[in-house]
């Protein structure tokens, strides 16, 4: 029994020597839930990782979605929040196969990220290559840096 509990915590990335109480488990659950409110993993453990960075006049979001098809992914931009929704289909296994370990999850997911600047919703480009979704968003004019001329008196 103790070995099973230690293995479970070890699999989740916790220290195998630390035995968590029920209240610690609830604390971890709430911390994970409220860590990024715009992230919802409808399949347990499946919230795709993403990077957000900016270049001169654009924001670029890259989302890891390995194994998904383009048809399984939806992108929306609403009120300066970019939302990626999709579904990873369950792979079939032979009827007589015994599962010894299952870490890859299947199901629907939704991942939203609040953008740090206003963007031009008319100028959004999305590409999907080798499991990486790249969304390029042009900054709105009010978010771009402005050069201010200096008058000499």
Name the strand (E) or helix (H) holding 136. strand 132-139
**CA 6 to each of CA 11, 25, 103: distance values in angstroms, whole numbers, following the listed order:** 9, 14, 17
Going from the N-terminus, what domains does the chain have, and what CATH number goes with each? 38-91+106-144 (2.60.40.790)
Q: Are 129 and 64 in contact (CB under 8 A)?
A: no
Q: Is 52 exposed, middle or buried (0-12, 13-18, 19+ CB in 10 A)?
A: middle
Q: Are 105 and 44 in contact (CB under 8 A)?
A: yes
Task: Please report, in tens digits, the pLDDT of each residue of the chain (153 residues total).
Answer: 444 444 554 555 544 445 556 666 666 665 555 554 444 444 445 678 999 999 988 999 999 998 899 999 999 999 889 999 998 888 888 888 888 887 777 888 899 899 998 998 888 999 999 999 999 999 888 766 667 778 887
Report d(CA 21, CA 18) in Å as an integer.
Answer: 10
Report d(CA 50, CA 93) in Å as an integer.
Answer: 30
CA-closest candidate to residue 119, choices 72, 73, 68, 75: 75
CA-closest candidate to residue 57, choices 148, 153, 139, 149: 139
Residue 91, pLDDT score = 80
């Amino acid at each position: 029994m103790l070995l099973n509990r230690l293995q479970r915590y070890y699999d989740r990335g916790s220290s195998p020597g630390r035995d968590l109480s029920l209240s610690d488990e609830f604390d971890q659950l709430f911390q994970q839930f409220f860590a990024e409110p715009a992230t919802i993993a409808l399949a347990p453990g499946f919230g795709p990782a993403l990077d957000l960075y900016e270049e001169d006049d654009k924001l670029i979001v890259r989302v890891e979605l390995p194994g998904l098809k383009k048809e399984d992914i939806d992108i929306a931009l609403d009120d300066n929040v970019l939302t990626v929704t999709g579904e990873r289909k369950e792979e079939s296994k032979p009827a007589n196969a015994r599962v010894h370990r299952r870490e890859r999850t299947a199901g629907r997911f939704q991942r939203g990220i609040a953008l740090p600047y206003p963007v031009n919703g008319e100028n959004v480009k999305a590409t999907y290559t080798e499991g990486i979704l790249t969304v390029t968003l042009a900054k709105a004019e009010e978010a771009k840096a402005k050069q201010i001329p200096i008058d000499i008196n």
